[in-house]
Amino acid sequence: MRAAFRANSPDAPDPAELIEFAPADYFARAKMGDIFEREAPLEVDLGCGEGAFLVAMAAKHPDRNFLGIERLLGRVRKVCRMVVHHRLTNARLLRIETAYALRYVLPPECVTTAHVLFPDPWPKRHHQSRRLIQDGFMEALHGILVPGGELLIKTDDQPYFLWMEKVIERAKGYERIDWPEDPEYPPTNFERRFLAQGLPIYRARLRKV
């Protein structure tokens, strides 16, 4: 069964709601044609937040498709409105937990680049199991990346980054590669705030092998 785009009413749908992709079956992997009508390289913004990065990338690279994954309804609706405002036809939103999307919703080997930008660090020890970057995350992501696909990570939280380094070292099927400064890579709203405060940004770039 083909997935549908949400709308309040079939008679008068809100254009912003048409941007949100709602799988017809949350227990079966979607087909790329269900998410985007055209074929193009797919990039995913895992935990897209307020959407500044997603919208900037979609505007800058009209030859690619961009899927933002975010669990909070308010954020999803806000980003959908931004996509409509900027008249972008290559961006969609999926409201769901990131780990679930990787493991159960996205098709195998469909993603060229996955962006994880300033994820919640969950600093308290008893909350660390909620962190996104875990062994299971790396395994599930490997399954949806195309051969040679990449994972790009940024964070301002050094303890979390040290955690990430250990997870990355254990992960199988990846190689660590350089990530030189790229002025064309849009900053998130969080990154702008951290840079304005003079805080360091930690980052990692990996390739599926």
Is 135 in the active site?
A: no
Give the whole-angstrom CA distance, residue 201 versus residue 192: 11
| Residue count (the chain) | 209
CA 71/CA 75 separation, integer angstroms: 8
The answer to whether the CB of 53 falls within 8 A of the CB of 117 is: yes
CA angle 43, 49, 52 (to 5 degrees): 70
- Nearest alpha carbon to residue 191 among 206, 181, 203, 201: 201
Return the half-sphere exposure (C-beta side, CA atoms, 13 A cut-off) of residue 68.
Answer: 31
Strand segments (E) across 30-110: 42-46, 65-70, 91-95
In the set 45, 63, 120, 157, the catalytic residue is 120
Give catalytic residues, as residue numbers.
Answer: 120
